[in-house]
Chain A
Amino acid sequence: QITLKESGPTLVKPTQTLTLTCTFSGFSLSTSGVGVGWIRQPPGKALEWLALRYWGDDKRYNPSLKSRLTITEGTSNNQVVLTMTNMDPVDTATYYCAHFIVGEGYFDYWGQGTLVTVSS
């Protein structure tokens, strides 16, 4: 059974760096054809794809946010960490991580999401 869960701060100040951890179980990022993605959703607004860590450590970022985003491995091999620099109030959103099937291109299992508010 595949599960994912996001963790991190619920409140960050403008200009600070956000670090979110996705802890997952039921699959391995060493398995060919899988990935872990990050997607966010501002309150009342649409989903926005942020980044993907593919198996084999390939990483891709939304071009409009690429300069601010970094995906790394966590302290254990079942974690993916997303870092976003220079946070702004417009970055207030629910941040989701999701299991991704590369060949067919879909997110089939999602975490519950974590709401991050950017405010001084």
Chain B
Amino acid sequence: QSALTQPASVSGSPGQSITISCTGTSSDVGTYNLVSWYQQHPGKAPKLRIYEGSKRPSGVSNRFSGSKSGNTASLTISGLQAEDEADYYCCSYAGSSLWVFGGGTKVTVL
């Protein structure tokens, strides 16, 4: 069970769209549609943004969207805003009731 692979950093200008990838294997992301995404501001606890790959919890902006292709899940933030600057983590089911997080991506709003 290895950590999912995310880019260390992604940046974009206000109003633009960015996409964060989360690459796993056929033992986790590729087989199960149980990928969740979390946003974490400095010094704060993570907050859920997407679950089951593409579903948004109540109250989460529709600027956040998720998708999956093969062994890679993606989080897209559209209409980038200053408040979106944070760290983002993916998490996937890995079988046998086990879970694995990604290495995290720092999003910078230019």
Interface residues of A (CB under 8 A from B): 37, 39, 45-49, 52, 54, 58, 60, 62-64, 96, 101, 104-108, 110-113
B64 within 8 A of A: no
13 A–B contact pairs at CB < 8 A? A46-B101, A47-B89, A49-B91, A52-B99, A54-B97, A63-B98, A64-B1, A104-B34, A105-B93, A106-B36, A106-B48, A108-B48, A111-B45
Contact B97–A52 (Cβ < 8 Å): yes
Residue contact A104 to B52, C-beta cutoff 8 Å: yes
Q: How far does the alpha carbon of A108 sit from the alpha carbon of B36 in the complex, in Å? A: 10
Q: Which residue of B lies closest to A48 (CB)?
A: B101
List chain B positions with a Cβ less than 8 A from chain A.
1, 3, 32, 34, 36, 38, 40, 45-48, 51-52, 55, 57, 89, 91, 93, 96-104
Q: Which residues of chain B are within 8 angstroms of A113 by Cβ–Cβ distance?
A: 45
- Other A-B pairs beyond A46-B102, A63-B1, A110-B47, 8, CB < 8 Å: A64-B1, A96-B46, A104-B51, A105-B36, A105-B93, A106-B52, A108-B57, A113-B45
Q: Across the interface, which residues of B come within 8 angstroms of A111, CB to CB?
A: 45
B51–A105 CB distance below 8 A: yes
Known pairs A107-B46, A110-B46; A62 contacts B1 (CB<8 A): yes
Do A49 and B48 touch across chains, with their CB atoms under 8 A apart? Answer: no
Q: Which residues of A contact B36 (CB under 8 A)?
A: 105-107
- For B47, what are the chain A residues with a Cβ–Cβ distance below 8 Å? 110
Name A105's contact: one of B40, B96, B99 (CB within 8 Å).
B99
Whether B101 contacts A39 by the Cβ 8 Å rule is yes
Residues on A with beta carbons closer than 8 Å to the beta carbon of B57: 108
A54 to B26, CA, bound (A): 25
A109→B65 CA distance, assembly (Å) = 20
A21 vs B3: C-alpha distance when bound (angstroms): 26
Q: For A60, what are the chain B residues with a Cβ–Cβ distance below 8 Å?
A: 96-98
Instruction: Give Cα A10 to B102, complex, Å.
Output: 26
Interface centre among A49, A60, A96 (most CB of B within 10 A): A49
User: Which B residues are CB-close (under 8 A) to A54?
Assistant: 97
What's the least CB distance linking B55 to chain A, in Å? 8
A105 to B93, CA, bound (A): 7
